Amino acid sequence: MREAERRVREEGKVLRDGAKPMVSNELALVGAKAGVPPRALNMVLPILAMVLTVPVVLWMTGDGDLMQGSGSRAVLWGVIVGLLAATLAYRIQGILSMDELTDLLLKGIQGLVPLVMVLALAFAIGATTRALGTGLFVAQAAQAGLPSALVPAVVFLLSCFIAFATGTSWGTFAIMVPIVMPMVDVLGLHPALALAAALGGGVFGDHCSPISDTTIVASMACATDHIDHVSTQLPYALLAAGGATLLFVAFGIVL
């Protein structure tokens, strides 16, 4: 058996030679403690504590309105409460000592440093493109002189490009929707089709963009090479986007 295949079997990961996972190998290869029977409670309890904490903090920070609460604070406190719940469960069951828990916590923080750095750079790039008005410029430049039947497909492709370049779906929605919806009455477009083109393109770009926070977190969660993750999901996403483009053209002609 080749060395690469042996390493894949031993580590339980599928990585190419030379790949650089988003988290350190020391963290990715942490296994279960020997002699400890697996219990579903040890997984469910921290997750449940985290999930239940988020809406509570949203309600508190939003003065009773969940929609006005601070999402960042809610997630932060959710993670803290989840860690405390896991720590309490492990200590009660005698699975880990305080020294072991502290060591694992520090390893986890250390292993996420590359993710924080990539996210910080991604946010900086996205903020720069938004400050320069890149998305708005591209959308307005493409608006002029287009046949109305092709507008939905062009809107979809523009949304794909903007979201891929900026790494944000919601930012793309904020750029494209105010531009697209006024075009509905002027060009006689079907409103649902035009809106779907803007939203669909934003989701595609955000899903595939290497600077999207969701793409980065997905690479981190799977402990895989970030560029490998982006490049391997692109063919499937491009296939779906190609089919969607053809459908937007067809429905643009019919509707």
pLDDT in tens, 90-104: 888 888 888 888 888
Name the burial class of residue 241, with classes exposed (0-12), middle (13-18) and buried (19+) by CB atoms within 10 angstroms of its CB: buried
Which pLDDT score is estimated for 177? 78
pLDDT tens per residue, range 183-241: 777 667 788 888 899 899 988 888 888 878 778 777 777 777 777 878 888 889 899 99
Give the pLDDT score at 109.
75
| pLDDT one-digit tens code per residue, 79-137 | 899 999 989 988 888 888 888 888 888 877 776 676 677 667 666 766 776 677 665 66
State the Rg of the chain over Cα: 23
Q: Does the predicted TM-score (pTM) go above 0.85?
A: no
Domain ranges of the chain: 3-111, 116-254
Question: From CA 255, how far away is CA 252, in angstroms rounded?
Answer: 5
Mean pLDDT of 169-175: 77
Span 25-77, pLDDT tens digits: 555 555 667 777 778 888 899 999 999 999 999 999 888 888 888 887 888 89
Which whole-number Å values give the CA distances from 231 to 18, 31, 122, 226, in the listed order?
15, 29, 17, 9
The predicted pLDDT at position 4 comes to 46
